[in-house]
Structure formats: structure tokens, C-alpha cells
């Protein structure tokens, strides 16, 4: 279950950066009272699980506004991932091996960036 993966992910972040993030937004699959309690104990000030699963907004974030901002930030990231999947072939990678997978993702992201820059060219 995703709920079991939340704390190892948070601990890996703390190990890498030396501290917990001030704010976090996560998918509803990670939501649980224990995960919220542990995240707060580790120093996360505001937490937004997409689906509340019995959690109150007041428990997760200092205000409804902060909760909505974090939830919408996560939704924007999901939209970007969806766009890369639909338009640039990141739905499925048939290339074998980690190095080839990295090259596949790299080529899709570079192509996306080039399309974005082309749209921004001056008239």
C-alpha cells in the first residue's frame, strides 16, 4: 500500500537534504493519521493529502488557503506528467536498461522544452 511508502520517502528526503520540507503535498493513497503525525513530528509544517481519508484540513495545514495552494500545486505537477505522457511518448518505454530509459526520458523532456520555446518565439 502507498501508506507504507510515505515515511521511507520522507526519510530519504531528510537524509538527502538534511531536513524535512516545510510543506508537502501527496497523493491520497499516502494519507493516514499515522503518516500525518510522523510528518509533523519530523518537522513538516503543512501537509496536504489529495484525499483527506478522515483527516481534517486544520490537522494538515495552518489554513484552508495553504491546503488549497498545496493541493493545487500537486495537481499542476500531475497535469505536467499527463501532458508528457500524452504528447511526448512517456506512457511506455520499450528501451531496455537504465541508461536507455534515462535517454528516452531525456529526449522526451528536451522535445517538450523545444516545443515550448518555439511557441514563445517573438512575432
* Interval 68-93: pLDDT, tens: 999 999 999 999 899 999 999 888 88
**pLDDT value at position 6?**
95
List Cβ neighbours of 72 (8 Å cut-off, separation of 6 or more). Answer: none
pLDDT tens-digit readout, 53-65: 889 999 999 999 9
End-to-end C-alpha distance for the chain, whole angstroms: 51
DSSP state of 61: S
Amino acid at each position: 500500500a502507498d501508506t507504507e511508502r510515505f515515511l521511507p520517502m520522507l526519510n530519504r528526503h531528510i537524509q538527502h537534504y538534511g531536513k524535512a520540507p516545510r510543506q508537502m503535498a501527496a497523493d491520497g493513497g499516502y494519507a493516514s493519521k499515522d503518516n500525518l503525525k510522523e510528518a509533523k513530528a519530523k518537522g513538516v509544517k503543512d501537509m496536504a493529502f489529495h484525499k483527506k481519508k478522515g483527516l481534517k484540513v486544520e490537522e494538515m495545514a495552518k489554513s484552508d488557503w495553504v491546503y488549497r495552494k498545496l493541493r493545487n500545486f500537486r495537481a499542476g505537477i500531475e497535469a505536467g506528467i499527463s501532458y508528457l505522457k500524452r504528447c511526448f511518448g512517456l506512457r511506455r518505454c520499450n528501451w531496455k536498461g537504465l541508461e536507455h530509459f534515462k535517454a528516452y526520458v531525456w529526449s522526451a523532456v528536451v522535445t517538450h522544452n523545444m516545443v515550448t520555446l518555439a511557441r514563445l518565439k517573438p512575432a
